[in-house]
């Protein structure tokens, strides 16, 4: 027996990458209303310091909290890596990041215990995935690698062909040599590059998509009644810079064409 709660689920990201998380949530929970905030004026977070990322994350969360959300999903890996404690300390609703769900899903899949994680320089340098994995299963072997060119490749739409294939091969060669059997895609943009990543690693390596893993855990919260179930299906998108490329980028990242995103100054 779970109570209902018509308030929306809030999702924020540094930009449009988090739309892959929103996509997983929309597909899984068609009866939940959702608000998405993309901090497109300050994107990317992945190359910024923990201090600056935390400051921006708190502002994003306060904006969504002001719109009466029942759950905050931090779709940005870099924010999840550095800002969760600060967010949990200040928000009155449950806060879910993408890192712990991704780490837990990877541990359920690996057979050899030799895992890889890829992400932005900020996420990898924070050591957050490495810590989350080691905390859940001490003694696990983790190989981490920052792949800074993957985000611009995904945003440019260069997700197949020679350039992304070569870039993936270059970045992933050390992970392949280390003999990983599972790879966490630790950045919301990376699912778009699944094809070339899988090709560079070979068929024996399983890819874990943090967006899907996070949607799984939202499901757990709804089933457990920690968060009440919704009864709508509304979606509202906010961005902090002009939403010029939104129709194109929403089609690519969300899988739905959104013509109107509301620009807000926060």
List the catalytic residues: 76, 187
Q: Which residue has the tokens 């919704």?
A: 230
Does the CA dihedral 161-38-93-125 come out positive or negative? positive
What minimum distance in Å lies between the beta carbon of 260 and a copy of itself? 16
Task: Indicate if the alpha-carbon torsion angle 233, 237, 153, 201 is positive or negative.
Answer: negative
3-class secondary structure per residue, 87-127: HHHHCCCCEECCHHHHHHHHHHHCCCCEEEEEECHHHHHHC
Per CB under 8 A, residues contacting a copy of itself are: 40-43, 47-49, 51-52, 148-149, 151-153, 155-156, 158, 162-163, 166-167, 170, 241-242, 244
Of 86 and 222, the one with the shorter C-beta distance to a copy of itself is: 86
CB of 98 to a copy of itself, least distance (A): 22
- CA distance linking residue 125 with residue 172, whole number of Å: 17
Nearest distance from C-beta of residue 171 to a copy of itself, angstroms: 10
Q: Given the structure tokens 């999840």, which residue do they identify?
A: 80
**Nearer Cβ to a copy of itself, position 7 or 48?**
48
Residue 28 or 165: which CB sits closer to a copy of itself? 165
């Amino acid at each position: 027996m779970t109570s209902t709660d018509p308030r929306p689920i809030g999702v924020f990201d540094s930009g449009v990458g988090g739309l892959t998380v929103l996509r997983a949530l929309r597909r899984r929970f068609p009866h939940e209303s959702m608000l998405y905030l993309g901090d497109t004026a300050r994107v990317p977070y992945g190359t910024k310091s923990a201090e600056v990322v935390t400051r921006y994350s708190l502002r994003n969360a306060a904006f969504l909290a002001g719109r009466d959300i029942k759950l905050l999903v931090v779709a940005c890996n870099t924010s999840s890596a550095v800002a969760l404690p600060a967010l949990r300390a200040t928000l009155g609703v449950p806060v879910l990041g993408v890192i712990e769900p991704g780490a837990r899903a990877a541990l359920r899949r690996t057979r050899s215990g030799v895992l890889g994680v890829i992400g932005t320089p900020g996420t990898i340098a924070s050591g957050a995935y490495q810590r989350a994995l080691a905390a859940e299963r001490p003694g696990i072997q983790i190989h981490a690698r920052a792949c800074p060119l993957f985000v611009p490749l995904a945003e440019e739409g260069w997700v197949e062909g020679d350039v992304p294939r070569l870039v993936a091969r270059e970045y992933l060669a050390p992970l392949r040599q280390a003999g990983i059997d599972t790879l966490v895609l630790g950045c919301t943009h990376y699912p778009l590059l699944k094809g070339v990543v899988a090709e560079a690693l070979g068929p024996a390596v399983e890819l874990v998509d943090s967006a899907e893993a996070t949607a799984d855990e939202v499901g757990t919260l709804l089933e457990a009644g920690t968060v009440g179930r919704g009864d709508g299906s509304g979606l509202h998108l906010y961005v902090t810079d002009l939403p010029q490329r939104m129709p194109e980028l929403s089609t690519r990242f969300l899988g739905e064409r959104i013509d109107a995103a509301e620009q807000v100054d926060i």
